[in-house]
Amino acid sequence: MATLSFLTSSPSAKPTLPTLTKPNLSLLSSKPPSLPFTFPKPSTLTLTLTQRLSPLKSSSSTPGVLSPTTQIPAPITLKSRLHNGDTLYGLFLLSFSPTIAEIAGLSGYDFVVVDMEHGPGGFSDALPCLRALAATNTPAILRLPESCPVWAKKALDLGPQGIMFPMIESAKEARKAVSYCRFPPRGIRGSAHTVVRASNYGMDAGYLSNYEDELLIMCQVESEEGVEKIDEIAAVDGVDCIQMGPLDLSASVGYLWDPGNKKVREMMRKAEKGVLESRGDGEGEGGGAFLAGFAMPHDWPEDLRKRGYHMVSGAVDVGLLRDAFIDDVNKFQMGLMNGSDADVKDGDEKYWSE
CA-based nearest residue to 161, from 120, 124, 109:
109
Q: How far is CA 269 from the centre of its chain?
A: 28
Reply yes or no on whether 118 is catalytic.
Answer: yes
3-state secondary structure of 164: strand
The 3-state DSSP class for residue 175 equals helix
Run of H or E including 212: helix 207-214
Number of DSSP helices (H) and strands (E) in the chain, helices first: 12, 8
Q: Give the total residue count for the chain.
A: 354
**Which residues neighbour 333 within 8 Å (Cβ) at sequence distance 6 or greater?**
none
Count CA within 13 A, CB hemisphere, residue 294. Answer: 21
For residue 186, what are the CA distances in angstroms to 47, 183, 261?
A: 27, 6, 42
Where do the DSSP E strands lie in the chain? 88-93, 111-115, 140-143, 162-165, 216-221, 241-244, 290-294, 311-316
Name every residue whose Cβ is closer than 8 Å to that of residue 265 and which is 6 or more positions away in sequence: none
Angle at 191 between CA 189 and CA 197, to 5 degrees: 105
Q: Quick count: other Cβ atoms within 10 Å of Cβ 263? A: 12
Q: DSSP 3-state assignment of 142? A: strand
Per annotation, catalytic residue among 118, 193, 298, 310 = 118
Burial 304-330 (b: 16+ CB within 10 A, else e): bbebbbbbbbbbbbbbbeebeeeeeee
The SS3 of residue 31 is coil
Other C-beta atoms closer than 10 Å to the C-beta of 153 total 17
Active site residues: 118
